[in-house]
Amino acid sequence: MLAALEAGGNPSSVHVAGRKARAAVEDARETVAMFAGAGPGDVIFTSGGTEALALALGGAVAGATEAGGRITRLLVSAIEHPAVLANAEAVARRTGSVGLEIQPVTADGVLDLEELGRSLREGNGRALVAVMAANNETGVIQPGEQVAALTREAGALLLVDAVQAAGKTDLKPLAAAADYLALSAHKLGGPSGVGALIARDGAPLAPQVLGGGQEKRRRAGTENLSGITGFGAAAAAAAAALNAEVPRLAALRDRFEQGMMALLPDLVIFGAAAPRLANTSLFAWAPMKAETAVMALDLEGVMVSSGAACSSGKVARSHVLQAMGVPGDLAASALRVSFGWNSGEAEVEAALAAFDKLARRARARAA
């Protein structure tokens, strides 16, 4: 990234600096494509995962209409990231002719394949199905290949949000099965503000950001040269570390959860019975409310996130836990812990010690 910043140059310019910038962008494109198991021509760089998802949803509907194969239905799982849910709602509202159908999940947070199959069989019109590779709150891995088989059988299109799963599982089977797949560099340890949409050759896609011919006229705007090169470097590093990093993170997560269960025998770990990403744990202990715990743990040097969504100073119930049927009082205590490349056993032990202190205080107040 530093080399790209120092070199400068607009990748669309034909002078020496421009050509060097173009070469750096294309090198990164090839690396990201190999990381995801796609072709370089399928990779469209964006400002992040949110824009990639918005481009896929809006671009697929508009592109299919232009091609004469109109999409009339958006089938979206109930646990999708707000970037999918909000953009799907916007597309349905803007077009007036596309229906939005929310698909249910099981109590473990796994997409209900039987219900999805029924929706695809019984609904009228061509559908675009949006299913994440793994949930960003629970870490639960979704049955992507089964979803792909159902969508193919129904003649539908498939959008996979792989932002959370990238670097933590092999994306190649999903990329081969999906029509659209979204990525974000910062989830790989790369820079914020850059992502990519991988659009299968032939999948309908109309540009949503206009004004220039960049990205083969699929996304206008001067390329974020330093961000894109950082994305490429992060993708290469993540690919090289995948086989060793996943079991290492799984061991840390399991040690943490075992320690938490020893401290709090009535702890609830969400999605524990389903396949999960190695680095994610979402749990709740009813006597310890999330907003209080986040602040108290931060004072102990332990950074966690709440399973609830905050808006305008008010804590709302997590839509993911709501879709899983989790009672409101338990959902209000949900906390998420994530492990990364810089996490080790010392961090796990420090976190357990901080939770032990918090639990002791909670029990003392209740006594």
Residues acting as catalytic residues: 310
Collapse the DSSP code of 42 into the 3-class scheme (helix H, G, I; strand E, B; otherwise coil) and give the result: helix
Q: Please, what sign has the CA dihedral across residues 322, 324, 328, 329?
A: negative
Q: How far apart are CA 349 and CA 235, in angstroms?
A: 30
Which residues partner with 182 through β-bridges?
A: 161, 197
Collapse the DSSP code of 199 into the 3-class scheme (helix H, G, I; strand E, B; otherwise coil) and give the result: strand
Scan for tokens 């009535």, then name that residue: 266
Do the strands 314-316 and 309-311 form a parallel or antiparallel pair, or are they unpaired? antiparallel
What are the structure tokens assigned to 257, written together? 């959860």
Helices 144-154 and 113-122, packing angle to 10 deg: 10
Collapse the DSSP code of 167 into the 3-class scheme (helix H, G, I; strand E, B; otherwise coil) and give the result: coil
**CA 37, 137, 178: angle at the middle one, nearest 5?**
25
b (16+ CB within 10 A) / e for 74-97: bbbbbbbbebbbebbeebbeebee
How far from the centroid of its chain's Cα atoms is residue 21's Cα?
Answer: 29
* Residues ≥6 apart with Cβ < 8 Å to 309: 82, 315, 316, 317, 318, 319
Do the strands 334-338 and 280-284 form a parallel or antiparallel pair, or are they unpaired? antiparallel
Scan for tokens 């916007």, then name that residue: 90
Q: Please, what sign has the CA dihedral across residues 40, 82, 207, 64?
A: positive
